[in-house]
Amino acid sequence: MTPLGLIYEPQSMAPPFFPFSCMPNSDPAISTESQASSGRTMPTFLPSNKHDLHHLRAPVPKNASPRVLEAKNHVVAMMGEFVGTTLFILFCLGGTHVAQLPALSITSTSEGTINTSSLFYISLSFGLSLAVNVWIFFRVSGGLFNPAVSLGMVLGGALPPLRGLLLTVSQVLGGLAGSAIADALVPGKLNAGCALGGGTSIVQGLFIEVFMTALLMLTIFFLAAEKNKATPMAPLGIGMALFIAEIFSVYYTGGALNPARAFGPAVVTHTFPVYHWIYWVGPGLGALMATGFYKLLKWLEYETVQQADDGQSYEDGERPDPETRDGEAARVESTDKPRAQQPSEAVYDLQSAARINTRLERIEVLLSQVLEAQAAQAAQAARAM
C-alpha cells in the first residue's frame, strides 16, 4: 500500500483547483552574469521539482509580508492539530468502546460474547501482514495492494491512470487468489468475510470505512510519498496505521478498508450482502478525502510552518538555496526512475561541477569589481595629492 517503489513523473501535478507552485531550478541573475563574464555557455538543467509525490521538497516561500506568512502558518498549524486530534480521539474512543461492549457478536446483532482478544489478533494480523508484504514488494510494484490506495495515488498524480487501472485489476485478482488459497488451506468453510456487526447501520458502516481508509491514505502520503528520514520505516508506520484502524472497525464492518479484501472472500464463500457496495464506495471516498486534504496542505505549503525540509531545521528564517536544493531534488528524482532511464553518474558529477563553477565565477566577478573600485579610489587619491 505504499508508493515507495512506484515512480511516475507527471507532466503537471497541479489541477486547476489545487494550483501547486513549482520552484525555479536556477538563479537567472547568477547564471546570466556568470555566463556573460566567462564567455562560456553553462549547461541548462531540467526543472527538478515536478511535485512527484514520492519525493516532494519544501517550496521556497513566496514573496509575502512576514505577517501574511505568519498568519498562514498559524492557520495551517491549527488545521493540522484539529484533524490530528480528531483522528486520535476518534480511534482511541472507538477502540475503547469496542473493548467494553458486553454482549454483541461480531457478525450479527444477536446476543453473544465479544472476544476482544480475537479483535486484537485480527487487527495485528492485518497490520503485520501489510507491513511485511510492503517491505517485500515496494521495490517491485510499490506495494499498494489496495484499489482505494491506487485511486488515491492516481488522484494525487503519483500514478498515471493507465497504471492505476492495471494495478487495480491485479489487486482484485490477487484478492480472489488469496481468498481461494486460504479457503483451500483451512479446515471447513472460510470465515473471514466482511459483514456489519453490533447493530451497525449501512450508513454508519459506510462512514467507518471512509474514515479508516482516509487515515491509511494520509499515512501513506506523509510517510512514503514525502521523502524524509522516516521514509525507510514507512512500511512499519503504514502497517501500524492499518492495525489501529482495524482495532476500531473490525467489530462494526469487518475492517475491509480495501475493496479487494472484501470482494475476494465474498466470491469464494458465495456471500454477497445487500450492503456489499459500501466496501467499494467507502474506501474510494476515504482515498478521495485524504488526497484532497493532502493537496490542500501542499497548496498551503505546510512545510514552512515548522521551517523544516527532510528533517533539517533552519534558524533565523534561513532557507536552503533554491539552486542547490533543486539540484538535490533532481538527483533524488532521477535515481528513483527505472534503471533504463537513469542518467549516468558522470551526468551527476557534471551538474555538481557546473553549479560549483557558476558560483566560483560569481565570486570572481565580485572580487574583480571590488579590486577595480579600490584601484579607481587609489588613482583618484593620487591625483588629488
DSSP 3-state of 308: strand
What is the structure's pLDDT at 46? Answer: 35
> Is the alpha carbon torsion for 4, 7, 11, 16 positive or negative?
negative
Q: 93 falls in which pLDDT band (50, 70, 90)?
A: low
Q: Is the pLDDT score of 95 beyond 70?
A: no
Residue ranges in the chain assigned as alpha helix (H): 28-38, 66-100, 116-137, 147-156, 161-185, 202-220, 234-253, 259-269, 278-299, 303-306, 322-335, 345-384
Which residue in 281, 286, 280 sits closest to 262, CA to CA? 280
Beta pairing partners, 313:
308
What is the structure's pLDDT at 351? Answer: 64
Query: Hey, how many other C-beta atoms are within 10 angstroms of the C-beta on 317?
Result: 9
Q: Is the pLDDT score of 50 beyond 60?
A: no
The pLDDT tens digits for 224-282 are: 877 777 788 888 999 999 999 999 999 999 899 999 999 999 999 899 999 999 999 99
Q: Is the pLDDT score of 59 beyond 90?
A: no
Name the most confidently modeled range: 145-159, 174-188, 278-292. Answer: 278-292
Q: Which three cell numbers stand for residue 246?
A: 482495524
Q: 290 falls in which pLDDT band (50, 70, 90)?
A: very high
Query: Hey, how many other C-beta atoms are within 10 angstroms of the C-beta on 212?
Result: 30
The pLDDT tens digits for 361-382 are: 888 888 888 888 888 888 887 7
85 burial via Cβ count (<10 Å: 0-12, 13-18, 19+)? exposed
What's the N-to-C CA distance of the chain in angstroms? Answer: 80
The DSSP code for 316 is G
Q: Which three cell numbers stand for residue 97?
A: 468502546
226's CB contacts (< 8 A; 6+ apart) are 53, 56
214's CB contacts (< 8 A; 6+ apart) are 286, 287, 289, 290, 293
What is the structure's pLDDT at 349? Answer: 60
Distance CA 258, CA 115 (A): 24
Average pLDDT over all residues of the chain: 72
The pLDDT tens digits for 120-143 are: 888 888 888 888 888 888 877 888
Residue ranges per structural domain of the chain: 28-58+320-384, 66-301
Q: In CATH, which superfamily holds the domain spanning 66-301?
A: Glycerol uptake facilitator protein. (1.20.1080.10)
Q: Which three cell numbers stand for residue 353?
A: 561541477
Do 258 and 147 touch, CB atoms closer than 8 A?
A: yes
Q: Is the pLDDT score of 359 beyond 80?
A: no
Q: Which three cell numbers stand for residue 297?
A: 496542505
Q: How far is CA 81 from CA 105, 128, 288, in A?
A: 36, 28, 21
Q: Which three cell numbers stand for residue 222?
A: 506523509
Which residue in 148, 295, 115, 163 sits closest to 216, CA to CA? 148
What is the structure's pLDDT at 89? Answer: 62
**Taking residues 41-45, what's their average pLDDT?**
39
94 burial via Cβ count (<10 Å: 0-12, 13-18, 19+)? buried
Do 49 and 23 touch, CB atoms closer than 8 A?
A: yes
Do 262 and 201 touch, CB atoms closer than 8 A?
A: no
Residue 255: which region, alpha, beta or left (left: phi > 0; alpha: psi -120 to 50)?
Answer: left
What is the structure's pLDDT at 209? Answer: 96
Q: 85 falls in which pLDDT band (50, 70, 90)?
A: low
Do 365 and 33 touch, CB atoms closer than 8 A?
A: yes
Residue in this structure with the C-alpha cell 523544516, named with its chain if needed: 308
**Taking residues 219-228, what's their average pLDDT?**
84
